[in-house]
Each structure stands twice: as structure tokens, then as C-alpha cells.
Amino acid sequence: MQVLYGRHHVRVFRFGLRLVRDEQVAEDLISEVFLDVWRQAGKFEGRSAVTTWLLAITRFKALSALRRRKDVGLDEEAANAIEDTSDDPEVVVQKKDTSEALRNCLTSLSPDHREIVDLVYYHEKSVEEVAEIVGIPENTVKTRLFYARKKLAELLKAAGIERGWP
């Protein structure tokens, strides 16, 4: 378990943190995820990569944590539908650095767009693996990422940054 934890806890933490946006909650998530792994190791069927299994558990736990938040009171659909406005694109207008603006816009994406961007770009998950983690059909994975990228382009455009696409 120590080997497994040592190898994957940072990945799990970052994925969880991007979903729940709270370091304490993300740290609690890690314990819950690996405890689940400890309890359910026998159920792991080995059809998918260990990281895919871990990220799927992390996602489930993160959404449960979001639901538990009394002050927010979100359900999964509402959590996915609401965009984070903590870093308004208009604020980004002030930032001349394209790279920084891009990062801010990546942070401003809705939770479901954020998670799919992270899974594909950072966690290097294939279409099939993302479908397994998020629990949606493969075609939906492809279109969701396309529209996440389109939304990202809109946010950047609102911030005054044109990149030649769309």
C-alpha cells in the first residue's frame, strides 16, 4: 500500500483538488480513496490501468464531498452545470501574459469541462479510459472535450486574447 500510495497520491490529490477546490478536503479525499483501495483491492478486476481505477474512485469521492458541503448544497448535476466565477474572465483582461490568462481560463471552466481537460492533457487518459472514469459514452467524451476547448477559446476571447482558433 505504501508503494501504491507513494506512487499515486500526488496525482490523486491534484485531480481531487481541481474538483473540490479546497486543499483540506482534497487531502481528506486521498485518505478516503486509498482506504477504499485497501478495502476493495480484491475487487479490482485488472481490466483497466490502476490510475484509471484510482481516478474513478477519486471522482466519485469528490462529488460526494461536494454534495456533503452544507453551505453549498450542490448535487452532481448542479455542480457540473455551475461555472466557477472566482476568477472572472474580465479580471483576466488585465493580465497581459497569454500564458497566465490561459491558466486562469482553464481554472474558470465548469467542473465537467475542467475534469475532462485534466484527464486528457495532464493524466494522459485515452478516450476509453476517460469514458470509464467519468461514466459517459466514448463519443460524449470526444464532444465534451471539444466543447470544453470551445468554451476555453470563448473565455480567452472575452479576455482579449485571440489565438487563431476558432
Is 5 among the residues that bind another protein (CB under 8 A)? yes
Which residue stretch of 14-22, 55-63, 74-82, 88-96 sits at the interface with another protein (rule: CB under 8 A)?
Answer: 14-22
58 C-beta neighbours (distance < 10 Å), count: 27
**Side chain identity, residue 164:** G
Q: Residue 113 belongs to what H/E stretch?
A: helix 111-117
Among 87, 126, 133, 160, binds another protein (CB under 8 A): 126
Which residue stretch of 15-23, 55-63, 70-78, 86-94 sits at the interface with another protein (rule: CB under 8 A)?
Answer: 15-23
**Side chain identity, residue 111:** P
Report residue 97 CA to chain centroid gap.
Answer: 24
Distances in Å between the Cα of 114 and the Cα atoms of 26, 142, 162 are 16, 14, 21
Where on the chain is the footprint of another protein (CB under 8 A)? 1, 3-5, 9-10, 13-14, 17-18, 23, 26-28, 30-31, 34-35, 38-39, 41-42, 44, 46, 49-50, 99, 102-103, 106-107, 117-118, 120-122, 124-127, 142-143, 145-146, 149-150, 152-153, 163-166
